[in-house]
A and B are shown apart, each in its own frame.
Chain A
């Protein structure tokens, strides 16, 4: 047949050009005017959940909320069909992702349109604070755990982010985020997947932002290798069992990347198919909370968090929360055996926290410094976490500063204690923080503050995490600190009010 070999003529293309094209993504500048409709309130609710670390699902149907509805791509299939799914969203708390992925996948199973952005049924006027994201090229990038070395990783400038706060309900546009400044490519990583900015607090470090939505994937390697390049970067695999996880000073083990068990695990992950191993929401929650192992793929600069369920599912947490890879049970068996027999170097989790010292504290502002007066007077708002509700009475501005007591206690995990200083309405402050515990339990007036005013948040006398909320007038300070001298802490707090 004529031109039967036409496509084979391209085989002569230079190998290096092909190698380059294999991962090629252009880095280009984007103007702020490229508004792409998407990402409405649900995004901010997820961010809120991210800030707080837990989320309570309230059920209900997804609502449009102004987000873009898009036809499902031709290659999006439901689990059990062709094992090809589309990653849609990103968050730190896996529950939120589970619920969303469940809804998405069930909708696809019914042959319905699949929302390629994200939705969440959040009431209007939901307060959002500490929102570590920005939007670029129509997608959301979320801050990830870990810091990269600036000298090695800082790439070309990609965009300038314009700082916007709390525009609920609203849509975020390209180039908008929760900080103001330049964003750069990360050397060695696809810019459509990972970007960074200079850490405003630690010279020479980069804050990493990852976009994990909008990708169509079939195998674990499509994310693990194609985007994270784990095969080239893996240094070790860290694991911890479920019982250990419950203790503040549990034991984590580290397996060298070259070990047979680690190799077997990575092969199982790479070759495993993405799947949704549940049909009902109840099954999903039962699976996610069943006996499991916590696993970190330690890439040196940052880590990828997994949960191994039923010995055959790897569930990606963190930026990739709520997605499952089905593992070949025979291939993953050496790794499971290694974990069960406690192979590898053992390290006490949070050991560094025990040595926390006040003199090492670093004063730094938090991400969200202001809560502007966008909230209508007497507006009622609530969170999607817990049952906490607040009546907001004024549109007062609240200033927040943060005093960090930080130590790295696991790959990519750093902050372990902090003091937040708020100037403004106390109730609103706690609405922002969204603590599940009754706020008043920790409250103490400045003039009554003593070393005994602190309450430990753990039941373990050997590992106290002290907390108090000190307030005076319109200023309050929320302290959470590890094994520190509380008398010294009192002095420090009093100085903050001076």
Chain B
């Protein structure tokens, strides 16, 4: 495929924190118009990878292009064409949901009319209308996710990169978010999401990648990654943890022999 067919193309992407290599010479391609699921256990390097792709964390080595534009020479230009829900939701805590979206829209050079209309739509669809005037500092985790998603969608980006978008979000809103993502996809957009929920990724995504210890272990169309199995089975096999090692947690069987460990006696 020519490079222009990819929404994201990363080559040799590497990031180290001290002695720890969070992402190790990662090669990743995301085709335009795909719904791409990035999977991996905690600490696999998913969020670090997404941060490097979105211009939020400078890689130690490697190249990454987004929509054909190299990210690190000019991250500002790349950010203009993407919507991001990052891992750390750093929001303006002392603004209300509406004010927050209003400022994000201004920073993206949108007209006031457009900001107002889209804010109304997004708050309604994401069930945040009742929190219209509530300060973000008082939001629940799920509401913070939703307002962050609204900010990422406000300028109708062709590429949406979402780090755990369904985490802490109620089922009704999850449904709404899926519909929004489908709509974006139908219009020719691309969505990249990371998630721990296999069922969600299996249902939504047509491309997937599995990361572990900073490396990409599987990568391709969902049908190829699954290879006729359930995604969670493939995931467990890929990262090598499909069963608890029999030698671990042996002490769990010793409760009958050590009743004094659970004594309620005061010292």
Decide if A and B are genuine partners: no
